[in-house]
Amino acid sequence: MLTPSLEDYLEEIYRFSLSLDAVRVTDISNRLKVALPSVTKALYRLRDEGYIKYERYGEIKLTDRGKESGYYLVTRNKLLQEFLALICSKCNYAAEAEAMEHYLSTATIDAIKTLVDFMNANPFCQQAFNDFVDLTD
Ligand code: CA
């Protein structure tokens, strides 16, 4: 199990890996607004747990395990943002998903996914819910 902080590192490394050939420490440092020594420390933890390959000043490469976990983390974040839109929350989706994602159990994430899938498959239910929300506003 990764800590919330390490999950965020892995999530961002995965996001970068989709668009960059080589992910560098400075990319992660800038994105997460964390000082380089802290990023380096986190990278060694991720490396020791088998999620990335990383040597000092070198490139960061995801292992198969890292790719699989990174994909899950990015998908989970996207799902939560979809869920917040679905329930018509007036929050900042990105910030709220960021706050929620590490603390929900897999069971709850799965249940939320089922709800999002259900609403996507039954637009009239989503419409009825949206209308209800408009009425109670
Ligand atoms: Ca995150």
Q: Residues with Cβ < 8 Å from 123, sequence gap 6 or more?
A: none
pLDDT attached to residue 1: 77
> Residue 40: CB partners within 8 Å, gap ≥ 6?
25, 56
pLDDT category of residue 70 using cuts at 50, 70 and 90: very high
User: Hey, which CATH number is domain 4-68, 3.40.50.261, 3.40.1440.10, 3.30.450.20, 1.10.10.10?
Assistant: 1.10.10.10
Assign domain 76-135 one CATH number from 2.130.10.10, 3.30.70.1560, 1.10.60.10, 1.20.1260.10. Answer: 1.10.60.10
46 and 65 Cβ atoms separated by less than 8 Å: no
The rounded Å distance from CA 77 to ligand 1 centre is 7
Instruction: Provide the H-helix boundaries in the chain.
Output: 4-19, 25-32, 36-48, 64-86, 93-100, 106-121, 123-136
Task: Report pLDDT digits (tens) over 15-48.
Answer: 999 998 889 999 999 999 999 999 999 999 999 9
Is the Cβ–Cβ distance between 96 and 89 less than 8 Å? yes
**For the chain, domain boundaries:** 4-68, 76-135
Give the integer Cα–Cα distance in Å for 93 and 83: 9
pTM: 0.89
Convert the pLDDT of each residue in 77-114 to its tens digit.
Answer: 999 999 999 999 999 999 999 999 999 999 999 999 99
Could you tell me the two tokens for 88? 């018509």
- Residue 21 is predicted with a pLDDT of 81
User: How many angstroms separate the alpha carbon of residue 56 from the centre of ligand 1?
Assistant: 24
CA distance 25 to 47: 13
Note the pLDDT of residue 100: 95
* Ligand 1 centroid – CA 134 distance (Å): 31
* Predicted pLDDT at 79: 98
What is the spatial distance between Cα 77 and Cα 66, in angstroms, rounded to a whole number?
Answer: 16
- Note the pLDDT of residue 36: 92
113-137 mean pLDDT: 96
131 CA to centre of ligand 1 in angstroms? 31
